[in-house]
Amino acid sequence: MSVVIPVYQGEATLAAIMAEIECLTSVTVSPDGYPFVVREVLLVCDNGPDDSARVMRELDAQYGFVRAVWLSRNYGQHAATLAGMASSGNEWIVTLDEDGQHDPGDIGGLLDTAMREQASVVYAKPTNPAPHGYLRNSASSTAKWLLTKLFSGSNAPDYQSFRLILGSIGRSVAAYSGSGVYLDVAMGWVAGTVVTSPVRLRDEGDRRSGYSTRRLFSHFWRMILSSGTRALRFVSILGVVVGAAGAAVALFILVSRLAGNEVPQGWASTIVIVLLGFGAVLFSLGVIAEYIGINVNMAMGKPPYLITTDPAHGPLGRRHPRVP
């Protein structure tokens, strides 16, 4: 396994995380009996405001399994994670945060879920609320639901920064993703089975979040823009609905006049023209948006296919006996 940790404000927490991961650098057996070993930990420096770079250098010198990846400037968590995934070289990639909220001891449970479900991506699913307050937790849950159900059409049931990914999938995503793509949306394009595994989040302590309200909203908006063309199709659907309403109103007015009912002069033709015309405009915009969406997907690097190895001969094909 390769563990990827994007580092922005990790000065106070990285040393403790490395001490926890160190015990996983020798062969460890998961609860279901699958042996695994962490071969490398990739610390990706995202040029944060603290002295994380110094700590990374010290950890690189102290541990043989630690490797620092240096970015030229601050690019954000997802870009840093992609850089770490591209630099990895093992069968599985684990991504987790620098703040100690994720317990490295849960990696075995993620692996068991992957083998049990034959999944190429496993997201950690917290069994307790994240330590951010009710308002932020609610907003985060709502945003993830909107993205998954209404916009992306992804098969990912939840998005968390604590993930287990097949190495071939992770490195391929890192290779083709454009600069504006959202990492989890990109994985949803090519990953097969995507599932979740229960974990318990730990407290972050006194560490302040690096995401302000403005950055969180910007992050959510980028998720929507990079999620594909499903949102654009709402325009076409709205046009059809408005046009149908115009046709229904015209039919109602015609039937009313044939029945001898009085209809206000001028109102009938005006409302029908407005509804039919507005519906036609919206439908036309939706068609144009679909053409734009195709080019957007190309710009984001969405691949038409991804060639991989025979799953039966890779990590998912290994059926180790359960350890008594």
pLDDT digits (tens, 9 = 90+) for 148-200: 555 554 444 466 889 999 999 999 999 887 766 778 878 887 888 899 999 99
Query: Where in the chain are the domains?
Result: 2-218, 230-300
Q: Which fold has domain 2-218?
A: Spore Coat Polysaccharide Biosynthesis Protein SpsA; Chain A (3.90.550)
Tell me, what's the pLDDT at 179? 66
Average pLDDT over residues 195-206: 83
Give me the percent of the chain exceeding a pLDDT of 90: 42
Any bridge partners for residue 41, and if so which? 3, 66
pLDDT digits (tens, 9 = 90+) for 260-292: 777 666 666 677 777 777 777 777 777 776 667
Sheet holding 194-199, edge to edge: 66-70, 40-45, 2-7, 92-95, 163-166, 121-126, 194-199
Neighbours of 313 (CB within 10 A): 9
Say if CB 223 and CB 143 are below 8 A apart.
yes
**What CA–CA distance (Å, rounded) separates 219 from 134?**
19
Any bridge partners for residue 163, and if so which? 95, 123
**Closest to 94 (Cα-Cα) out of 114, 72, 73, 117:** 114
Average pLDDT over residues 22-41: 96
Q: Which DSSP symbol is given to 125?
A: E
Tell me, what's the pLDDT at 254? 74
Coil, helix or strand at residue 199: strand
